[in-house]
Amino acid sequence: MARICSLCGRGAMNSNTRSHSNIATANKQHINIQTLMLKGTRTSACTSCIRKESKRLKSLAQPTPKKEAKKA
């Protein structure tokens, strides 16, 4: 299974680790991939996409509060 988010397509980034003498050693920074059920199928998504999706669903589920008129 590839370490790529199925929702946004993000993957690993290349970077360097630096020693005390400033020698660069190649390194790969992987994203935080989690497996979850989405619409009945198992998908792999990064945690930022999961967070965005849960916030979006939460905002759709809550009704907007109505402003009450001031009584004079």
Q: What is the pLDDT of residues 10-46, one digit of tens each?
A: 999 999 999 999 999 999 999 999 999 888 899 999 9
User: Once rounded to an integer, what is the mean pLDDT over residues 3-10?
Assistant: 92
Alpha-carbon distance values, 47 to 28, 43, 52 (Å): 18, 12, 9
- For the chain, the farthest-separated pair of C-alpha atoms sits apart, in whole angstroms, at 75
SS3 state at 19: coil
Other Cβ atoms closer than 10 A to 7:
15
Pure H helices in 1-72: 47-61
Higher pLDDT, 1 or 57: 57
Cα angle: 12, vertex 58, 61; to 5 degrees: 145
